[in-house]
Amino acid sequence: MVTVAVVGAGNWGKNHIRTFANLSSARLKYVYDMNGQRLAAAAKAFPSVTIIENYESVLSDAEIEGVIIASSASSHYELGKKALLAGKDVLIEKPLTLSSGDALDLVQTARKLERVLMVGHLLLYHPAVRKLKELIESGELGEIYYIYSQRLNLGTIRRDENVLWSLAPHDISVICYLLNEFPREVSVHKGRFIQKGVEDVAFMQMLFSRGRIANIHVSWLDPHKVRKITVVGSKKMVVFDDMESTEKIKIYDIGVKEIDYQNYGESIGLRFGDIVIPRLSGGEPLRIEAEHFIECIESRRTPLSDGVGGMNVVKILEAAESGGVISKDGIGAAAEVSSGKIKEFL
């Protein structure tokens, strides 16, 4: 049994509190938030947990092995660093930090102190993403041509990070995981309409090896609630629609049959086969993520969504915002480490 504390009792932190409070392999000892009202609401919703108003008391309690940080993104670095220095294993929500320098510092601190540093890239623990990975790795989709994702809704509008930093970490982590590679080039177009200095909509592109491309559309100012990832392969195409309650994955056995340059009239033959909806197993992604964190604490394994992966996502976001090409020695080297761990976990 691993004893843990959750930091941040906001909209998402509540889910961590519920999940860890119900995990048989963990004991949730404390919930800490700097906002007394949030703490009081957590105490009411989860009478079995102890709320605490002092972070230092959490960190000085030798019983606490793991700290889950689900506070606002701007506080991740400071709270995470303190927890690591206090000898705790740490799970930090996405985005890991708001700068790659801070992310690197957390990665190096965790390495030096031999602590687990995990990032809440939730979708990597989603059974549908596991299925997508399986379909790609088995070759069933053929060569992957391109991937695009849409993560749209009206809200949640944030103040300390723009929509790209708030929502795109999910899609970046999934796309890099599926392609087992980090992009060579990234670019983004963003629109700012509601608050000064905080963008509400972004269209981001990533270019991978062999001409493979990805597009990420994120917005908190949209009439549709959409959470969709489409993968187009040479043999089959797949849509992961997270708004569907049961039919989350649809595999389209469609594509281009052949290109007949001899016969101009029917030069490109199309193939229309079945649409298959596979059964997914595995349960709730957050519960799988939480169990994985506990398992990594117990076994001292490196998490699937480790600090290096979290840092790479931050680097990609930074590169996109500065209009950039990602240098091979910068992200390339780290990417190899991370993808090695992806294989190990699977």
Query: What are the residues binding ligand NAD (CB under 6 A)?
Result: 7-13, 33-35, 38, 70-73, 75, 79, 93-94, 120, 122, 166
Q: Which is nearer to ligand NAD, 12 or 145 (CB)?
A: 12
Long-range Cβ pairs for the range 184-191 (8 Å, 24+): 184/208, 184/209, 184/325, 184/326, 185/324, 185/325, 185/326, 186/316, 186/319, 186/320, 186/324, 186/326, 187/320, 187/323, 187/324, 188/164, 188/320, 188/321, 190/162, 190/163, 190/164
Q: Which is nearer to ligand NAD, 11 or 60 (CB)?
A: 11
CB of 37 to ligand NAD, least distance (A): 8
CB of 122 to ligand NAD, least distance (A): 4
Interior CA angle at 238 toward 247 and 243, to 5°? 35
CB of 320 to ligand NAD, least distance (A): 17
CB of 118 to ligand NAD, least distance (A): 12
What is the distance of C-alpha 21 from the center of its chain? 22
Q: Which is nearer to ligand NAD, 19 or 302 (CB)?
A: 19
Is 207:186 a contact under the CB 8 Å cutoff?
A: yes
Q: Which is nearer to ligand NAD, 79 or 186 (CB)?
A: 79
- Strand residues in the chain grouped as ranges (E): 2-7, 26-32, 50-52, 66-69, 89-93, 117-120, 144-154, 185-191, 201-207, 213-219, 221-233, 237-241, 249-259, 268-276
CB of 252 to ligand NAD, least distance (A): 27
CB of 154 to ligand NAD, least distance (A): 15
Q: Which is nearer to ligand NAD, 81 or 192 (CB)?
A: 81
Residues with Cβ within 8 Å of 4's Cβ and at least 6 positions away in sequence, in order, are 20, 26, 27, 28, 29, 64, 65, 66, 67, 68, 294
What is the distance of C-alpha 308 from the center of its chain? 13
Whole-number Cα distances in Å, 19 to 25, 235, 310: 11, 39, 22
CB of 242 to ligand NAD, least distance (A): 11
CB of 165 to ligand NAD, least distance (A): 8
Q: Which is nearer to ligand NAD, 162 or 233 (CB)?
A: 162
Is 233:212 a contact under the CB 8 Å cutoff?
A: no
Separation of alpha carbons 155 and 11, rounded Å? 12
Q: Which is nearer to ligand NAD, 29 or 94 (CB)?
A: 94
Residue nearest to ligand NAD (CB): 10
Q: Which is nearer to ligand NAD, 94 or 217 (CB)?
A: 94
